[in-house]
Structure 1
Amino acid sequence: MARNSDEAPSATVPDPDEVGARPGARPERRGTTTLAMVASRVGVSLNTVSRALRAPHTVRPELKRRIDQALQDLNYVPNRLAGGLAGTRSDIVGVVITSLFHSEFAAVVDTLQAQLLDRNLQVMLGNSRYDPEEERRLVRSILSWRPAAVAIVGCDHHPEATELLASCGAPIVEMWDVGGDIIDSAVGMDHEAIGRAQAEHLLSRGYRRLAFLGSLREADARARKRASGMAATLAEAGLPPLVRMTRPEGGHPDLGESLLHELLAAHRDVDGIVCNSDAVAFGVLRGLRRVGQNVPGDRGVVGFGDVDAGSCISPTLTSVRPARHAIGRLTAETILARIAGEEPRRITVDWELLERESTAR
């Protein structure tokens, strides 16, 4: 009679991470976890671990809990490729961005995709919506397809996402930011330097009491770095500390106008406002117009992103223009170089502060 124990010996089912390995196949980077390693950790058969993944209802709850813990501890991700391809990489490049709403990243991804398509690599896009847990889930899901590489926005991630990326065996390129520890390679801007430049620009135009205003979600490390750069500049100049007026929600004009009213009620002396995005800045300009404030005479406003509408409104908006196409192109070039075995890179990309009417005193 066939046994029905979770740990009973049975015919060996090949580990999907080990099937297909053959002489000359590209080896996985050291640190890749196999089901055999998980089985050894738990002290059960390879069949049992495989069954816990394929049909979890057939495994005792306590044993399933132990297997899940081992999968997490060893940073295991399943391999969704067919068995015969399990020893290889796919032609997918995973790309994880933080937002599609008033997206800063459309041109980056478009340029990146065009460059990769020339080398027969396909983009798999995920949007974390500034949610660390969603980022972790996206990273785990993308890695299950054994991507040729991964590009991800930012240098500050969910700790488990960082561990998974660091041990996955594929090239990792962090985009948009280079200010911090990186996993492998990075292509982006120095956001603290941008914040310093925004503050210095307002100070050079005679503004003295500055505020940072807008959307500031927990996972938006880039905006926090810009605010820190502003605060440091004011401290070095011996000026009053930076006023921060933010909410943890998506940036849009209504948010900008609402925060402006809070700012004016609490800090009437603020005369220079830096917004974390152009969308928020549009709402600030609208709100100042409605309360009869002159821009740039009474207050100056600076945005970030330099979207097309910024040069069409009245007054036109001073803003920081990121080199989106350059970031996309250099990210693609870095991915291809790392796939070819070249050394990791950290590339700082230039940006431009464009003065327009909103600060032209």
Structure 2
Amino acid sequence: MRETVTLAHVAERAGVGESTVSRVLRGEGAVSEKTRARVRAAVRELGYVPNRIAGTLASAGSKLVGIVVPSLANVVFADLLRGASGALEEEGFQPVIAVSEYDADREAAHVAGMLAWRPAALMLAGLEHADETRVLLAGGAARVVEVLDTDGEGMDIVVGFSNAAAGHASARHLLARGYRRFGYVGHDLVRDTRAAKRLKGFEAALAEAGLPPPEREVFSAPSSVELGRDGLERLLARARGLEAVYFSNDDMALGGYFMCLSRGVAVPERLALFGYNGLDVARLTPQPLATLRTPRVAVGAIAARLIGAGAPAQKVDVGFELVPGATA
């Protein structure tokens, strides 16, 4: 259990009394601007978050668990929440949910807000976070559970799967089917680091086979079916002779599939399509999508049970399942 950063720690770092720190944080009393600056700097450096309930939850054993997800528009995170919230309630915890919209600063703000209520744990998607978020998490006593990725070092408990291995396995499957000219259609690779890791794994498998990276069509926007449709159309307009296209996820791949249907592009005879996530809707299309299924509900449930058990720091890789489908 981490030691919580307290008002006393801030006072010591700033070289002032606790009452002065309290006045600065409340914006009250006569305090010089120089002293205010020292106190604010100490707060930032230590990741101090005011305790809004004066330690009552912390002393009694908080039953709150904060969960910050990148989006609710993507069913992947709805599945994660379904698994986590059900298991947390069974363990006697109350989940509190926030959405970052893939914005690192917004994630940091949500983390700070949740830590103010002294939760038992915080659950975050992925392993990459802003420096401010890491400082806040390190300064709090809450357990930290990072989910949906295992490619990197976690802060405490990690539950997920390797996105790099997922991309690599996807490419190896397509190569085994005889495809050699590849394209990629994806969404924001800067904010969605897990999608970027999958693409890197995909490209690594192509390089191992002596092939160049895929032709890319990448948007600096969240994924959507519409984006997948438009992306594939733009890609095919400038990259002739492609045999297979890898998409950042099933939403994008479904958009690409709909484009092929509307343009009379034979799938997979003329063009193979491969997605990621294994969404239910992807298997209900006229030709079930070739994709890779991830166990999102299980990830959420496992993470919640580890919180309930007070488990030690660890990394749990739940793996993934390749779904051949009919589009590749």
* TM-score w.r.t. length of structure 1: 0.86
Cα-to-partner distance string for 1:98-119 (whole Å, 9 max, x where unaligned)? 1111231212211211111122
**8 Å Cα contact 2:189-2:196 kept in structure 1:** no
* Equivalent residue letter for 1:29: R
Partner of 2:2: 29
Q: CA deviation at 1:217?
A: 4.0
Q: CA deviation at 1:66?
A: 2.7
Q: Does 1:220 align with 2:192?
A: yes
Match 2:209 to one of 210, 226, 237: 237
Judge which range, 158-167 or 178-187, deviates more. Answer: 158-167
**8 Å Cα contact 2:45-2:135 kept in structure 1:** no
Partner of 1:323: 295
Higher radius of gyration, 1 or 2: 1
Q: Which has the higher contact order (CA 8 A, sep 6+)?
A: 2
Match 1:336 to one of 270, 288, 308: 308
Judge which range, 294-303 or 169-178, deviates more. Answer: 169-178
Q: CA deviation at 1:275?
A: 0.9
Task: Report the Cα distance in structure 2 between the residues aligned to 1:119 and 1:234, rounded to whole angstroms.
Answer: 45
Q: CA deviation at 1:224?
A: 0.7
Q: CA deviation at 1:138?
A: 1.0
**8 Å Cα contact 2:185-2:248 kept in structure 1:** yes
Partner of 2:102: 130
Judge which range, 160-169 or 49-58, deviates more. Answer: 49-58
Task: Report the Cα distance in structure 2 between the residues aligned to 1:35 and 1:122, rounded to whole angstroms.
Answer: 27
Partner of 1:141: 113
Change (3 A) 1:316 1:329: same
Judge which range, 70-79 or 110-119, deviates more. Answer: 110-119
DSSP 3-state at the match of 1:124: strand
Cα-to-partner distance string for 1:18-38 (whole Å, 9 max, x where unaligned)? xxxxxxxxxx633x2211221
Task: Report the Cα distance in structure 1 between the residues aligned to 2:2 and 2:176, rounded to whole angstroms.
Answer: 51
Q: Does 1:296 align with 2:265?
A: no
DSSP 3-state at the match of 1:177: coil
**8 Å Cα contact 1:179-1:190 kept in structure 2:** yes
Judge which range, 199-208 or 61-70, deviates more. Answer: 61-70
Change (3 A) 1:128 1:217: farther
**8 Å Cα contact 1:97-1:105 kept in structure 2:** yes
Task: Report the Cα distance in structure 2 between the residues aligned to 1:193 and 1:227, rounded to whole angstroms.
Answer: 10
Task: Report the Cα distance in structure 2 between the residues aligned to 1:289 and 1:29, rounded to whole angstroms.
Answer: 55
Q: Does 1:349 align with 2:298?
A: no
Q: CA deviation at 1:242?
A: 2.3
Cα-to-partner distance string for 1:262-281 (whole Å, 9 max, x where unaligned)? 21122112211111121111
Count of residues paired in the alignment: 328
Q: Which runs of 5+ in 1 are unaligned?
A: 1-27
Partner of 1:272: 244
Cα-to-partner distance string for 1:147-177 (whole Å, 9 max, x where unaligned)? 1111111111112212221332222111111
Judge which range, 210-219 or 349-358, deviates more. Answer: 210-219
**8 Å Cα contact 2:24-2:31 kept in structure 1:** yes
DSSP 3-state at the match of 1:201: helix
Q: CA deviation at 1:57?
A: 8.4
Task: Report the Cα distance in structure 2 between the residues aligned to 1:304 and 1:84, rounded to whole angstroms.
Answer: 44
- Structure with greater helix share of residues: 2
Q: Does 1:158 align with 2:127?
A: no
DSSP 3-state at the match of 2:179: coil
* Equivalent residue letter for 2:171: A
* Equivalent residue letter for 1:181: E
Partner of 1:44: 16
DSSP 3-state at the match of 1:249: coil
Change (3 A) 1:54 1:351: same
* TM-score w.r.t. length of structure 2: 0.94
Q: CA deviation at 1:298?
A: 0.8
Q: Over the residues paired in the alignment, what is the CA RMSD in angstroms?
A: 1.8
**8 Å Cα contact 2:203-2:214 kept in structure 1:** yes
Q: CA deviation at 1:51?
A: 1.8
Task: Report the Cα distance in structure 1 between the residues aligned to 2:75 and 2:31, rounded to whole angstroms.
Answer: 44
Q: CA deviation at 1:86?
A: 5.4
**8 Å Cα contact 1:334-1:345 kept in structure 2:** no
Partner of 1:173: 145
Q: CA deviation at 1:63?
A: 3.5
**8 Å Cα contact 2:189-2:220 kept in structure 1:** yes
Q: Which runs of 5+ in 2 are unaligned?
A: none
